[in-house]
């Protein structure tokens, strides 16, 4: 965008705000004092400012006395752009200007843009300090063993990391420095569509707590009871709450170098194994691929059917540098610290979306816990014939047949055809990265069907 286009929109925002109340809050982005950003958030509405209070880190009182922000967010949801005169591609605009160190947001009431804009800035700045920014959740076990969970919206990143048996560091954005990992946030922003009190008790409990912000959630206007199963507004229903609402949460937001790296995908085709072990090269490949499914209703214009998608680094819109920069850093850190890597499919089993069913969360939890606790060490593996993934022969508390996707399909020939179709998509998507990776990563890639 040309600077004059930004200046025109900024002037329009200032004019729009004349005579209106503006809500202002100073916060930190980043739990590590050596690498955090100081951010001033200025919003048109009080609830958006409360969102910033939940999602960022509140500085101590003495730090607010002379607070000089590194970046300022000006959020004006009631102001829509006119593409014809303002030089935008839609009525919505989210703009970062590094010269004025200002973020300008307009035309959208979705609160997530406030935090994602700041994280995009961190994702650009931190690699210069040899810090890998990651769209991931993270937690710590009793031994002090850290784990990170990569994944896009709807893959279970928040749910699987909020495990009562482990201490939660954060659910969405982290940095991996030379000292270990640190949370960018002070809160959680969980999807709550069809949230289960039995399967996800920690997150479910937050939906009835004072201070939680519910976004796009259907509520009976008379009884004020929530219908978390309703997608009346969108599938993308959200709860924003402070990290302190989770019972077992880290007080520092810091963790050691991860021993386990888990990449989550929600395979709409129903052909990827539910869990598989990755080499460092395969981890780089799947990190670059970022395969998952966008579920209908999560975003505008998707139609009624889920769609397969590839989002590099499991967060392409928020990663301003070339994807190979982040992938190389990930591979180097995995190798240096000896982290074990796993690909976990929380998507469909027994058929593609619309035919099969979503993977049982109890089975997924058992697989993740087995990987974190080292219970899969020494277990025999079988190479998946389509994707080259190493699938454990057995996982505690998981039926053996579940581990082999083809066995869950009633029509094996339909499975073979669908697997070939997805392989072709992987191969086509990776063509744009081949010149940026070495031969070992190329060899770890999904290969075209013979």
- Condensed to tens digits (0 to 9), the pLDDT of residues 49-62 reads 999 999 999 999 99
- pLDDT tens profile 242-286: 999 999 999 999 999 999 999 999 998 999 999 999 999 999 999
Smallest CA-to-CA distance from 174 within 312, 341, 315 is with: 315
107 and 237 in a single domain? The answer is no
- Looking up residue 124, the CATH number of its domain turns out to be 3.40.449.10
Structure tokens at 20: 């209106």
Tokens at 96, concatenated: 């970062």
Domain boundary residue, one of 128, 146, 174:
128
Q: Which of 245, 266, 285 is the last residue of a domain?
A: 245
- Do 215 and 355 fall into the same domain? no
Residue 426: give its domain's CATH number: 3.90.228.20
Q: What's the confidence (pLDDT) of residue 154?
A: 80
Q: Is the pLDDT of residue 447 over 60?
A: yes
Q: H or E segment at 426? A: helix 412-430
pLDDT tens digits, one per residue of 195-204: 999 988 999 9
- 140 touches 163 (CB < 8 A): no
| Residue 277 shares a structural domain with residue 172 | yes
Same domain, 16 and 104: yes
Q: Residue 28: is its pLDDT beyond 90?
A: yes
Does position 301 have pLDDT exceeding 60, yes or no?
Answer: no
Residue 19 has pLDDT above 70, yes or no: yes
Give the CA distances from residue 305 to residues 191, 231, 270, 301, in Å, rounded to whole numbers and listed in that order: 19, 15, 14, 11
Tell whether 449 is covered by a domain.
Answer: no
267 & 296 share domain: yes
Number of structural domains in the chain: 3
The reply to whether the predicted model has a pTM over 0.85 is: yes
Q: How confident is the model at residue 294 (pLDDT cuts 50, 70, 90)?
A: low
Q: Verify that 211 and 331 share a domain, yes or no.
A: no
Higher pLDDT, 158 or 311: 311
pLDDT of residue 295: 53
Per-residue tokens: 12:
């329009």
pLDDT at residue number 272: 96
Q: What's the pLDDT at 298?
A: 47
Number of neighbouring beta carbons within 10 Å of residue 405: 28
Ranges 25-34, 286-295, 413-422: which has the least confidence: 286-295
pLDDT tens per residue across span 314-345: 999 999 999 999 999 999 999 999 999 999 99
Residue 357 predicted with pLDDT over 90: yes
The count of other CB atoms within 10 Å of the CB of residue 329 is: 21
Looking at the structure, do residues 279 and 405 belong to the same domain, yes or no?
yes
Q: Is residue 33 part of a domain?
A: yes
Q: What CATH number corresponds to the domain at position 223?
A: 2.170.8.10
Query: Given pLDDT bands bounded at 50, 70 and 90, which one contains residue 10?
Result: very high
When pLDDT is averaged across residues 183-207 and rounded to a whole number, the result is 94
Lowest mean pLDDT among 30-39, 268-277, 301-310: 301-310
Asked if residue 312 and residue 234 are part of one domain, the reply reads no
Inside any domain, residue 450: no
Q: Which domain holds residue 199?
A: 188-245
Q: Identify whether residues 95 and 168 lie together within a single domain.
A: no
Asked if residue 23 is part of any domain, the answer here is: yes
Compare 356 and 354 and report the one with higher pLDDT. 356
């Amino acid at each position: 965008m040309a600077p004059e286009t930004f200046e025109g929109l900024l002037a329009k925002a200032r004019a729009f705000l004349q005579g209106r109340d503006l809500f202002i809050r100073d916060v930190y982005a980043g739990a590590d004092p050596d690498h955090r950003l100081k951010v001033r958030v200025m919003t048109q509405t009080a609830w958006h400012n409360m969102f910033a209070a939940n999602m960022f880190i509140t500085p101590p009182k003495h730090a607010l006395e002379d607070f000089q922000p590194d970046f300022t967010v000006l959020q004006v949801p009631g102001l829509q752009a006119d593409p014809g005169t303002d030089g935008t591609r839609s009525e919505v605009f989210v703009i970062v200007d590094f010269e004025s160190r200002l973020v300008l947001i307009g035309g959208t009431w979705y609160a997530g843009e406030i935090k994602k804009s700041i994280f995009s800035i961190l994702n650009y700045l931190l690699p210069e300090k040899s810090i890998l920014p990651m769209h991931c959740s993270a937690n710590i076990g009793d031994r002090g063993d850290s784990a990170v969970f990569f994944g896009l919206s709807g893959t279970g990143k928040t749910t699987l990391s909020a495990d009562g048996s482990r201490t939660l560091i954060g659910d969405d954005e982290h940095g991996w420095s030379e000292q270990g990992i640190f949370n960018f946030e002070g809160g959680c922003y969980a999807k709550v569509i069809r949230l289960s009190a039995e399967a996800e008790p920690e997150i479910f409990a937050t939906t009835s707590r004072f201070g939680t912000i519910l976004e796009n959630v259907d509520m009976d206007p008379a009884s004020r009871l929530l219908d978390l199963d309703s997608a009346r507004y969108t599938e993308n229903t959200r709860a924003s709450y402070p990290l302190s609402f989770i019972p077992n949460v880290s007080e520092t937001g810091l963790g050691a170098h991860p021993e386990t790296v888990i990449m989550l995908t929600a395979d709409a085709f129903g052909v990827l194994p539910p869990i598989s072990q990755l080499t460092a090269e395969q981890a780089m490949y799947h990190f670059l691929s970022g395969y998952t499914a966008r579920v209908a209703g999560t975003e505008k214009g998707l139609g009624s059917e889920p769609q397969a998608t590839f989002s590099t680094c499991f967060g392409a819109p928020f990663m301003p540098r070339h994807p190979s920069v982040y992938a190389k850093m990930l591979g180097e850190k995995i190798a240096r610290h000896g982290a074990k890597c796993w690909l976990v499919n929380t998507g469909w089993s027994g058929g593609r979306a619309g035919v099969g069913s979503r993977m049982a969360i109890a089975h997924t939890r058992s697989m993740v816990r087995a990987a974190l606790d080292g219970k899969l060490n020494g277990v025999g593996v079988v190479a998946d014939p389509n994707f080259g993934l190493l699938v454990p022969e057995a996982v505690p508390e998981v039926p053996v047949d579940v581990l082999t996707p083809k066995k869950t399909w009633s029509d094996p020939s339909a499975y073979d055809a669908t697997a070939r179709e997805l392989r072709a998509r992987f191969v086509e998507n990776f063509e744009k990265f081949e010149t940026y990776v070495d031969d070992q990563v190329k060899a770890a890639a999904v290969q075209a069907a013979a």
